[in-house]
Amino acid sequence: KRPAGAPDKSLARPVSKVGIVGAGLMATQFATLFVRRLQVPVVMTDLDQERVDRGVAGVHAELDNLAAKGRLDSDTHNRLKGLVSGTTDRSEFADCDWVIEAVFEEVKVKQDVFIDLEKIVAEDAILATNTSSLSVDEIASVLQRPERFVGFHFFNPVAVMPLIEVVNATKTNEATVATAMAVAKNLKKTVVITRDRPGFVVNRVLAKVLGESMHAVDTGTPIEVVDSALAPMGLPMTPFELLELVGLKVGVHVLESHHAPFPERFFESANLDKLADAGAKLIERNGKGEKTGYTKEFKQIVGTDGNS
Ligand code: 3HC
């Protein structure tokens, strides 16, 4: 008997061409994974040719790294590179059966992308969002066919983090969830199905950790005290390293999207907003990339410069 919530696997549709909207850092990472694991054509798009070229070059560079580490033989390496292309013209998605976006985290921006995609792709093509902090139902509200729409949430760094959250939104149908599960499995990831709730599962916890950490420094606890306190728990990264890894702007969105529905339970941080707006780094590193402390900007903005 199928466990509650698990879709009938036989409903999964094959994926023979992948479209990716947005060619930024996250998209580049998962484009590499799609081409490596599914070995099908992957088309990336973005607003202008420069961004598209940067995205495709990023995938090529990641494939080169894998080949240099001996994880791809030279035939496969060349073949996979040939499967990745980039364009500013979304009409090349017409024969994609799976299109996923990683564009700016704003509902309207994502809705516009999907309204446009519905005019291009086949009726049964699956549309997926990698949103980390927006409501999948809200994005879906503008779609003609929300039943083929699903959340497909990767974690950073995509190549090494084993999890994908598949967000089974209110109108997502079983075949769509089954396809998303099959895709995640073919990407060799572990998958959990979640409902459309703020933060799904993982970011709900992350928002607590990052929000409490920012709140502690915002209210005067020295940065290094907060950051080092969790290290003995055996976590792979301290809170501020993790915040820098996910990106400060993403961090702001994650905190806001929890504070808004649950103001009593989650903090937001004006200092984090300032750091994100300034494009600041948090962690000071030496030439080898090892952590040596915290940046002047971080200390100045939270007001512990000189006495932390
Ligand atoms: N991109 C690609 N590969 C990377 C990478 C990156 N940015 N960073 C590290 N790696 C790879 C390395 O190449 C290495 O692979 P190899 O063994 O094949 O050579 C492997 O990861 C381990 O790297 P290192 O030995 O250099 O470093 P660590 O052992 O310190 O591990 C880490 C690095 C895997 C990033 C580890 O610190 C970690 O797991 N950190 C926690 C990350 C995390 O929690 N991510 C989730 C964030 S939440 C999120 O993304 C959701 C969003 O919605 C906010």
Task: Identify whether residues 250 and 217 lie together within a single domain.
Answer: yes
3-state secondary structure of 2: coil
| pLDDT band at residue 305 under the 50/70/90 scheme | low
Ligand 1 lined by 87 (C-beta under 6 Å) = no
Cα separation, 187 vs 158, in Å, equals 11
Q: ipTM value of the model?
A: 0.94
Task: Identify whether residues 167 and 295 lie together within a single domain.
Answer: no
Average pLDDT rounded to a whole number, residues 27-34: 97
With respect to residue 140, please indicate whether it lies within any of the assigned structural domains.
yes
Domain C-terminal end among 194, 221, 246? 194
Centre of ligand 1 from the C-alpha of residue 3, in Å: 32
Q: pLDDT tens digits for 72-90?
A: 999 999 999 999 999 999 9
Domain C-terminal end among 194, 223, 252? 194
Q: pLDDT tens digits for 242-280?
A: 999 999 999 999 999 999 999 999 999 999 999 999 999
Domain with 216 in it: 202-302
Task: Identify whether residues 209 and 166 lie together within a single domain.
Answer: no
Average pLDDT of the chain? Answer: 95
Best CA proximity match to 105, nearest among 135, 142, 127, 144: 135
With respect to residue 218, please indicate whether it lies within any of the assigned structural domains.
yes
User: Which one has a higher pLDDT value, 4 or 198?
Assistant: 198
Cα separation, 291 vs 72, in Å, equals 31
Please give the model's pTM, rounded to 2 decimal places: 0.94
Whether residue 189 is predicted with pLDDT greater than 80 in this model: the reply is yes
With respect to residue 307, please indicate whether it lies within any of the assigned structural domains.
no
Question: Which one of 29, 160, 233, 253 would you pick to mutate in the ligand 1 pocket, going by the greatest count of ligand atoms within 8 A of its CB?
Answer: 160
Ligand 1 lined by 250 (C-beta under 6 Å) = yes
Ligand 1 lined by 233 (C-beta under 6 Å) = no
Q: pLDDT tens digits for 48-73?
A: 999 999 999 999 999 999 999 999 99
